[in-house]
Amino acid sequence: MKFDAAAFKLTDLNSVQVRSLGIGVLGLLLTVVGYFTKTEQFFFSYLTAYLFWVSIALGALFLVLLFHLTGTVWGVTLRRILETLMKVLPYMAIFFIPVLLGAHHLYEWSHVDVVAADPILSKKTSYLNITFFAIRTAFYFTVWYLIAAKLYKTSLAMDGGAKPEHIKTLKKVSAPGMIIFALTTTFASFDWIMSLYPHWYSTIFGLYFFSGGLVGTLTLVIVIGLYMNKRGAMDSVITVEHYHDLAKFTFGFIIFWGYMGFSQYLLIWYANIPEETIFYLDRWRGTWPIITMTVVLGHFLIPFVGLLSRNSKRNYTYLKYMSIFILIMHWVDIFWLVIPVLHTSGVRFCIFDFTAMAGIGGIFMWLFWKQLGKHAAVPMGDPKFEESLKHHNP
Amino acid sequence: MKSGKIEGVIAEFENPAALIDAAEKMRDSEYTRFDCHSPFPIHGMDKAMGEKRSVLGWIVAPVAFLMVLVGFLFEGWTSTIAYPLVISGKPLFSYQAYGAVAFALMVLTSAGTALFGMLALNKLPRFHHPVFYSDRFAKVTDDAFFVSIEAKDAKFDEKETVEFLKSIGGREIELLIADD
């Protein structure tokens, strides 16, 4: 990996691309073995990994929208990385095909006989049926593609010299884009995760899914940035001040995630309605309390205390390991949401959980590095870019 | 008129850049009880003056951690020992519900600690300061930039300090004389 500091372009990305693609293809091939040996497990493992990477791409889309809406200065130098992550989101539509094909293994509501015998589920058939499920997902990805493509294209156009119209376009797309993003992400989380337990409902669930994903995005950007800096790339454009702010955001959204998780829990605990409490009851059976407590401690308490002080946000080595830890915890969180439907009696990890993660992750990162190498790695034409480089935390 | 005790000395500087420059020279000198005054905040002044990071965070953090614990235990004590009351069939020690109160108590006390700690560390409130002996000093709220050195400084000497301020580019140097 080399960085052309004059054109702000990354070159010699071959090795990282080949490595990502290799891990991706190998992971996916190994996961396919699971389809033939443990079909149910395969689909659940795949869904967990899929949701992890989609949530990260969605978090990137959110941050780009947020940056344009608020006119942020500090984050401009990081924006191309986020835009590239966002650009990978439409490709994730292709990876949804196995979920759609395996809907019968994943979603209880897809069984006509079960639904017919259940008075609650039979009333939900107009929403929860395979055709509408597929149409909705196609709609989400189309909308996300349109927003992401327009933002990316306009940002690239600014590289050759920014015009006031560019900034106007970006704001014009971002404002309604943010509202559409909120609604589509909420409904996507309802469809993909909440409908795994078709009786259960939680209106805050969309925010819970989104906030976890956003933490994942921020920590992944920290890891990617440090990975590049270590190889002598981008260290002139991403400085300790930018990592400090990324870590602040991570800290903030760790609290936001905890707030969402606790709000959901407290209301369900307090109301004590069987349809709702079943969600937490399932996660308190057998050995599941271990994972439940891991999520509480690892996804909230440890990062909260661990990122509290200023020095912890500015120490590269510490920040790297903390970010990797939070990323792992984000995966554990998704695992905690999805897998109890399959393994009701206790926690069971499976090799395919990890191969699916490596498989989709490898392809995801391959697409990311490929896209990042195509254009300048920073939005160098943005009027706020120079100011962003000089950003300084008091 | 010049009978009172000398409590310090002030010097005027032309613009913010000159003030920053002077602050750096003050920091590198042996004077410790000096301050810079300007009508508006100047970026980089903390660094130029060699100000250390505030210790306030280290005061607020223990208070926050202590009070979140106190809030939790306090609610546990009221609902199990002091006034046991069954609410919607839940156990007496329903720790799930204590989070909100414990959190609120933590926020309240740490915000209070931050506010009053900040005032205490800034030695506020105070009603008088030697710089007010100078009439010219009123300009500091409008268009003037001052450096002040207090007489309490170990290195303070009526003549030497004035010379020093002159050497770093100070103008209109004025001794702050009590009851002036």
The pLDDT tens digits of the residues spanning A160-198 come to: 888 999 999 999 999 999 999 999 999 999 999 999 999
Residue B1 pLDDT grade (very low, low, confident, very high; cuts 50, 70, 90): very low
Spell out the residues 6+ positions from residue A20 whose beta carbon is closer than 8 angstroms to its own: A362, A363, A365, A366, A368, A369
Pick the residue from chain B with its C-alpha nearest to A309.
B57
> Beta strands B171-177 and B6-13: pairing type?
antiparallel
| In a domain? residue B25 | no
Q: Which of B121, B155, B170 is the last residue of a domain?
A: B121
**Contact list, B53 vs chain A (CB under 8 Å):** 310
Mean pLDDT for chain B?
Answer: 90
B52 touches chain A (CB under 8 A): no
| In a domain? residue B76 | yes
What pLDDT score was predicted for residue B2? 53
Q: Which of B79, B106, B121 is the last residue of a domain?
A: B121
Verify whether the Cβ–Cβ distance B46 to A308 is below 8 Å: no
- Residue A347 in this model has a pLDDT that exceeds 80: yes
Q: Is the peptide bond before A98 cis (omega within 30 degrees of 0)?
A: no
A122 touches chain B (CB under 8 A): no
B146 within 8 A of B37, measured Cβ to Cβ = yes
- Residue A223 in this model has a pLDDT that exceeds 50: yes
- pLDDT (average), residues A258-279: 93
Q: How many domains does chain B have?
A: 2
| In a domain? residue B12 | yes
Does residue B101 sit in the same domain as residue B151?
A: no
Does residue B74 sit in the same domain as residue B117?
A: yes
B49 touches chain A (CB under 8 A): no
Nearest Cα of chain B lies from the Cα of A251 at a distance, in angstroms, of 16
- pLDDT (average), residues B133-159: 89
- Could you give the maximum distance between any two Cα atoms of chain A, in Å? 67
**Contact list, A309 vs chain B (CB under 8 Å):** 57
Q: Looking at chain A from residue 129 to 158, which residues have their Cβ under 8 Å from any Cβ of chain B?
A: none
Nearest Cα of chain A lies from the Cα of B96 at a distance, in angstroms, of 7
Verify whether the Cβ–Cβ distance A265 to B89 is below 8 Å: no
Verify whether the Cβ–Cβ distance B99 to A262 is below 8 Å: yes
What pLDDT score was predicted for residue B22? 92
Spell out the residues 6+ positions from residue A66 whose beta carbon is closer than 8 angstroms to its own: A72, A178
What pLDDT score was predicted for residue A107? 94
**Contact list, B57 vs chain A (CB under 8 Å):** 309-310
Residue B177 pLDDT grade (very low, low, confident, very high; cuts 50, 70, 90): confident
B6 within 8 A of B25, measured Cβ to Cβ = no
Nearest Cα of chain B lies from the Cα of A266 at a distance, in angstroms, of 7
- pLDDT (average), residues B116-141: 90
Nearest CA among A323, A157, A224 for reference residue A13:
A224
Does residue B65 sit in the same domain as residue B35?
A: no
A365 within 8 A of A56, measured Cβ to Cβ = no
| In a domain? residue B131 | no
| In a domain? residue B94 | yes
Residue-wise pLDDT tens digits, A87-130: 999 999 999 999 999 999 999 999 999 999 999 999 999 999 99
Give Cα A239 to chain centroid, integer Å. Answer: 24
| Separation between Cα atoms, residue A140 and residue A90, nearest integer Å | 10
Spell out the residues 6+ positions from residue A109 whose beta carbon is closer than 8 angstroms to its own: A115, A121, A124, A125, A128, A129, A195, A198
- Residue A297 in this model has a pLDDT that exceeds 80: yes
What pLDDT score was predicted for residue B3? 63
Residue-wise pLDDT tens digits, A65-82: 999 999 999 999 999 999
Nearest Cα of chain B lies from the Cα of A333 at a distance, in angstroms, of 20
A36 touches chain B (CB under 8 A): no
Residue given tokens 């002598």 in the structure block = A232
Spell out the residues 6+ positions from residue A268 whose beta carbon is closer than 8 angstroms to its own: A202, A276, A277, A279, A280
| In a domain? residue B178 | yes
- Residue B5 in this model has a pLDDT that exceeds 90: no
Does residue B104 sit in the same domain as residue B76?
A: yes
| In a domain? residue B49 | no
Residue A255 pLDDT grade (very low, low, confident, very high; cuts 50, 70, 90): very high
Verify whether the Cβ–Cβ distance B57 to A309 is below 8 Å: yes
Residue B171 pLDDT grade (very low, low, confident, very high; cuts 50, 70, 90): confident
| Separation between Cα atoms, residue B30 and residue B173, nearest integer Å | 19
Verify whether the Cβ–Cβ distance A270 to B88 is below 8 Å: yes
| Class of residue A107 by CB neighbours under 10 A (exposed 0-12, middle 13-18, buried 19+) | buried
- pLDDT (average), residues A147-160: 94
Residue-wise pLDDT tens digits, B37-80: 999 999 888 888 988 888 999 999 999 999 999 999 999 999 99
Verify whether the Cβ–Cβ distance A266 to B96 is below 8 Å: yes
| Separation between Cα atoms, residue A157 and residue A163, nearest integer Å | 9
Does residue B117 sit in the same domain as residue B150?
A: no
Does residue B5 sit in the same domain as residue B61?
A: no
- Residue A329 in this model has a pLDDT that exceeds 60: yes
The domain of B82 spans 56-121
Residue given tokens 């933002």 in the structure block = A151
| Separation between Cα atoms, residue A240 and residue A392, nearest integer Å | 9
| In a domain? residue B133 | no
